[in-house]
């Protein structure tokens, strides 16, 4: 993979998989983008308003997403994308909007994924993805849009 065009291909592929219908998500089709030791981190606020970080391996992330979205239609679309590359490391910033639709409720929102990517074995591999979504009191700054 060359950069930065292929970084956009990477993020689009990830969004396409998570946006697929339940039972139709091709996780194995994107596994090659991830380093074997990659971490995927969901952040946010718990029910009491305290910050949390759920740190997962790729396989733990897949299981988590499949359980959370089993009865839900979910889609994410990338709004903006920025890559900063230095040698064999890169930081990607990907702003997205999402739609979460259950049989009784529809939610829309935006968030940001921060990727840490390394160049290894002739390929760029995701070492980590950390994200958070907008919520009351937290909106995306104009510098990310």
Q: List the domain boundaries for the chain.
A: 5-134
CATH for the 5-134 domain, from 3.40.50.2300, 3.90.180.10, 3.10.450.50, 3.40.1710.10:
3.10.450.50
pLDDT confidence of residue 17 = 98
CB 129 within 8 Å of CB 114: yes
Residues of the chain by 3-state class (helix, strand, coil), percent to 5: 25, 50, 25
Distance of CA 15 to the CA centre of its chain: 7
Rounded mean pLDDT of 32-61? 98
Residue by residue, DSSP assigns 23-66 as T---GGGTGGGEEEEEEEEEEEE-TTS-EEEEEE-HHHHHHHHH
Checking if the pLDDT of 60 tops 90, the result is: yes
Q: Tell me, what DSSP letter sits at residue 21?
A: P
Query: pTM for the full model?
Result: 0.93
Quick: pLDDT tens for 66-121.
999 998 999 999 999 999 999 999 999 999 999 999 999 999 999 999 999 999 99
> In this predicted structure, what is the pLDDT of residue 9?
93
For the beta carbon of residue 37, count every other beta carbon within 10 angstroms: 10
């Amino acid at each position: 993979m060359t950069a930065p065009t292929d970084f956009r291909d990477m993020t689009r592929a990830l969004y396409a998989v998570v946006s697929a219908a339940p039972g139709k998500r091709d996780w194995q089709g994107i596994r090659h983008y991830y380093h074997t030791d990659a971490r995927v981190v969901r952040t946010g606020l718990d029910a009491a308003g305290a910050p949390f970080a759920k740190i997962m391996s790729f396989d733990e992330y897949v299981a988590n997403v499949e359980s959370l979205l089993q009865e839900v239609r979910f889609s994410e679309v990338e709004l903006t994308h920025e890559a900063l590359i230095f040698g064999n490391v890169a930081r990607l910033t990907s702003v997205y909007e999402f739609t979460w639709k259950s049989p009784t409720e529809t939610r829309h929102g935006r968030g940001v994924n921060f990727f840490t990517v390394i160049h290894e074995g002739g390929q760029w591999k995701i070492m980590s993805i950390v994200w958070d979504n907008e919520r009351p009191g937290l909106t995306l700054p104009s510098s990310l849009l």
